[in-house]
Structure 1
Amino acid sequence: MTLTSSVLERRAAPPSVLPADDDSQFARLMNAATELRTVVAQRARQTEVDRRVSAEITQIMKEAGLYRVVQPRRFGGYELSLENLRQLAFEIGRGCTSTGWCYGLSAAASWVLGMFPEQAQQDVWGCAPDALLASCIAPTGKAVPTDGGYLLKGRWSFGSNSDNAQWLSLGAMVEQAEGATPRPIFLLVPQGEYRIVDTWHTVGLAGTGSKDIAIDTEVFVPAHRCVAFAEVLDQQAPGAELHESALYRVPFLSGFPPLLANPAVAALRGAIDEFVASIAARSTRGAFAGGGASIAQFGHVQSAVAHAEAAVDAAQLILQRDLQLATGLVAGGAKLSAEQRITLRRGHAYTVRLCVEAINGLYDVVGGTGIQLDNGVQRAWRDINAVAHHISVNWQAVSTMYGQMRLGLPPRGQY
């Protein structure tokens, strides 16, 4: 498909001449995201067919500076807020859930890199401030301690946007002394030291290219390219002290899951807009009561639209509140308690539950055209239900942890 949007005709100004204050910087990025939304919406079906976000769209986002939103200033980024990133990813995700998912998670990987030791950040961004990251956070690899670092080997699933990345952040378990529990860590690995395995054939989030990653023969990862999972969970990341912003002290599981939930909310917003613009005005066909009437005249259709609109409003408010609360507490010097972190996790998962219920109701009234693969409502239906299968925002997985805490039981889960 040929891209005709004016977003292709401009190039972002170099960082030295960009607006200095955060508000104008965010406004510029939002304008770019809004223009890009139209482009990615036109390409949404092709993105699914390709099973990845194109290099072309990725380059547009790079040149607009969108990936730098939570990248540290000292390494060429804008060091804005996680809520700013959520809003930008929401705008893009309204047009294409897969593109919004990949953008949000790769941009968030820059936030996590800001928690790594200084030399790791220098390795990635020192010569290439636009270097793009992807991640596989589940610690399914094995890291063996060796002189100066670790020997890493393994296979990982769900490497979203790995086709477009120059570096990967991979989770692995480190064997401890005999009898001790293995310790999870994140390790940074450059392109060329891992293999992308084309395993991504899915019913939802089909365009995210979340393929498997394999390292078949051990590769050496220096110790400075590693950070312990416990450090990024517990506000003790070594890189946090390098930067002025409290952003890099926000606990990983208070900042990352909202960006997993956000694409579901964006997809629902896009589905409502398409439904109202192109489907509700259609007349029904067939021999049944009310045949020939406008779909918009049916009460159950009106109720489904109201339900979906309310779900978007509620979900956005929850995600915004939770991100701002976590960031505000950290900026004030607080260390988030277990109760606060688990409560935040509840909100992350509940927003996705709201979206699942709403999109299922909207899809129920979309009519026969809803089975077409180029129909945006059915795409959102598949994508939102796919988001709900992610363990970090799955209501059944996360809600039990909160319930255990409130009932005085030891909470079982990650927070």
Structure 2
Amino acid sequence: MDVTQTVPGTELVRRATELVPLLQKHASWSEENRRMHDEVVEAMADAGLFRMRIPKRYGGYESDTRTLTDVTAQLARGDGSVAWTASVWCIPGWMVGMFPDEVQDEVFGTPDVRVCGTLSPTGNAQPRPGGVLLNGQWGFISGALHSQWQEIIAMGAAPDGTPMPLMMLVPMSDLEVVDDWHTAGMRGSGSVTTVARDVFVPQERVLPLPAVLQGQYASKLNAESPMYRAPLLGVAAASSVGTVIGLARAAREVFFERLPGRKITYTDYGSQAEAPVTHLQVAEATLKADQAEFHGYRVADLTDSKGRSGEPWTLEERVRSRADVGAVCQLGREAVEVLALASGGSSVYSSVPIQRIARDVHTVNLHALMTPQTNFELYGRVLCGLEPNSFYI
């Protein structure tokens, strides 16, 4: 592999766009089987999408978050579950770059490696000579069925014995997978539960989460990379918005595909396209989608500009990034709902994509780090001069 290669963001977006028909082809299969189709995963690997947030020395592209937003927005036009899973893989994959360089050598030694994960500390890690003994279970692990590693958070102890969350990397072969992903939306993401039973994790694959959240990373070789000059939650925020932006675009596309020839039942309109109510609906949905894109690209551009300059993030910028994500989710969901309600009774059939798009965007709005009202409250607290009431900023 030529580790000096670079791929412009425009080329990656073009490749993602070319995958849309394939994603649409397999979307129903993914819904039924509650996982991504193997052909889709292989096509994404061939397109280089799993290298976007990997250091260049391993053959990665170190793509900026605007590129990631553009790519996932295109993928969401084909299947929201694929876009969501791609963005999730990009976040823990980026997080691998925080670990000591020898750990990165181990993880990134696998071509097109995929790392899943979560920030929920639903496990415990007991100190052992040379590492920790891990037990626990973690839900909503998107992409686990196609991953080689999982980034895990568990409660451990600081050097003085006080409780402290730890971040670690564990091979998927050391974990059990519980097939429990029976959901209303994002079914194709395969976001199953994983379980650790007395798994030993060597110390070099363990980092204190408080230090990570403050940008204190263990890698020496990544220290000067613009991609790593950003707080974890800022990167997570910027990496997540593309899916909702793309779902709003997809809703508009499928609505207009069905519009020609459709009538409004029990009215004298011969064409839905001629009805003033339709004009109001498509204008409202389009403007909401436009607003969602403003907030999405604002947080992506903030992440990229800070990474290039090396300037530290202010507290207000940190919490605003969470608020921007909330705004993207709320506005994107509202845009989709307007068009879904305007799509008529026939749109409830599973063969009509708008119903899947509506379920997917609703599901994203339920994510704990993306729920609009929680994020707005956090932002408002800081604007009012109070301390943030969340560890995750």
C-alpha contact (below 8 Å) 1:117/1:239 kept by paired residues: yes
Give the drift of 1:260.
2.7
Does residue 245 of structure 2 align to residue 250 of structure 1? no
Give the drift of 1:177.
6.8
Secondary structure of the structure 2 residue equivalent to 1:323: helix
Does residue 140 of structure 2 align to residue 158 of structure 1? yes
Please show how residues 129-148 of structure 1 align to structure 2 within 5 Å. 129-148=111-130
Secondary structure of the structure 2 residue equivalent to 1:239: coil
* Partner residue in 2 for 1:310: 287
Give unmatched runs, 5+ long, in structure 1. 1-13
Secondary structure of the structure 2 residue equivalent to 1:144: strand
Q: 1:358 to 1:240 in 2, by over 3 A?
A: farther
Q: 1:220 to 1:59 in 2, by over 3 A?
A: same
CA distance in 2, matches of 1:71, 1:153: 29
CA distance in 2, matches of 1:179, 1:192: 30
Give the drift of 1:305.
1.4
Which consecutive aligned stretches of 4+ in structure 1 deviate over 6 angstroms post-superposition? Answer: none
Q: TM-score, normalised by structure 2?
A: 0.94
Secondary structure of the structure 1 residue equivalent to 2:122: strand
Secondary structure of the structure 2 residue equivalent to 1:408: coil
Give the drift of 1:183.
1.4
* Partner residue in 2 for 1:224: 204
* Partner residue in 1 for 2:52: 69
CA distance in 1, matches of 2:384, 2:192: 39
Between stretches 54-63 and 382-391, larger displacement belongs to 54-63
* Partner residue in 1 for 2:217: 237
* Partner residue in 2 for 1:289: 267
Amino acid at match of 1:113: V
* Partner residue in 2 for 1:188: 169
* Partner residue in 2 for 1:350: 327
CA distance in 1, matches of 2:288, 2:368: 21
Give the drift of 1:161.
0.5
Give unmatched runs, 5+ long, in structure 2. none
Q: Which of 202, 214, 227 is equivalent to 2:195? A: 214
Q: Deviations over 1:141-169 (max 9, x none)?
A: 11112222111110100010100001111
CA distance in 2, matches of 1:279, 1:102: 30
CA distance in 1, matches of 2:63, 2:85: 19
CA distance in 2, matches of 1:226, 1:193: 15
Between stretches 370-379 and 232-241, larger displacement belongs to 232-241
CA distance in 2, matches of 1:45, 1:315: 27
Does residue 346 of structure 2 align to residue 363 of structure 1? no
Q: 1:385 to 1:39 in 2, by over 3 A?
A: same
Please show how residues 11-160 of structure 1 align to structure 2 within 5 Å. 15=2, 20-23=5-8, 26-126=9-109, 128-160=110-142
Give the drift of 1:31.
2.3
Give the drift of 1:27.
3.1
Q: Which of 339, 352, 369 is equivalent to 1:392? A: 369
Between stretches 255-264 and 91-100, larger displacement belongs to 255-264
Q: Which has the higher contact order (CA 8 A, sep 6+)?
A: 2
CA distance in 2, matches of 1:281, 1:185: 58
C-alpha contact (below 8 Å) 1:282/1:294 kept by paired residues: yes
CA distance in 1, matches of 2:303, 2:92: 18
Q: TM-score, normalised by structure 1?
A: 0.90
CA distance in 2, matches of 1:261, 1:355: 10
Amino acid at match of 2:236: F
C-alpha contact (below 8 Å) 2:229/2:310 kept by paired residues: no
Q: How many residues align?
A: 392
Percent identical residues: 30
Give the drift of 1:119.
1.6
Q: Deviations over 1:226-276 (max 9, x none)?
A: 233223322221226435421112111101123333212211111110100
CA distance in 2, matches of 1:119, 1:125: 10
Q: Deviations over 1:355-376 (max 9, x none)?
A: 1222221111110111111211
Secondary structure of the structure 2 residue equivalent to 1:256: helix
